[in-house]
Structures are given as C-alpha cells and as structure tokens.
C-alpha cells in the first residue's frame, strides 16, 4: 500500500499532537513517549523519501 504525500502530512501532524499529549501525561523518557517518537521519525523519513522521489520525477 502506497501512502500519498497528503496523507503522510496528515499522519505526521496528528502524531506530533499525540506526542505532545503523551509527553505531558507520561514524561519525556517514558516508553510510550519513545515509541511515539520513533513512529513519528519513521513517518517523517518516509515523507522525505516520497518527496525526494516526487522531485526527481519532475
């Protein structure tokens, strides 16, 4: 399944909001915070790869 750029942007923005809430509830070093942060990193990396692929096709 290929996720479109717009959907990735939406997921990244939502994950950022979620991460802020998790940090407020559990602290910076909690397992939940680290797990969410890693997922956000993965989404951002995927987004950057897709953007690079898109730019090279132009």
Q: How far is residue 46's CA from residue 57's CA, in Å, rounded to a whole number?
A: 17
Q: Are 33 and 27 in contact (CB under 8 A)?
A: yes
Q: What pLDDT was estimated at residue 58?
A: 61
Lowest-confidence segment of 18-22, 24-28, 48-52 by average pLDDT: 48-52
- Bigger pLDDT: 6 vs 3: 6
Is 55 in a helix, a strand, or coil? helix
Element (H, E) at 13: helix 5-26
**Is the pLDDT reported for residue 30 higher than 60?**
yes
């Amino acid at each position: 399944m290929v996720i479109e750029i717009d959907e990735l942007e939406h997921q990244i923005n939502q994950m950022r909001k979620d991460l802020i809430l998790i940090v407020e509830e559990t602290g910076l070093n909690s397992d939940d915070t680290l797990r969410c942060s890693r997922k956000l990193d993965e989404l951002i990396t995927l987004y950057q790869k897709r953007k690079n692929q898109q730019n090279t096709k132009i």
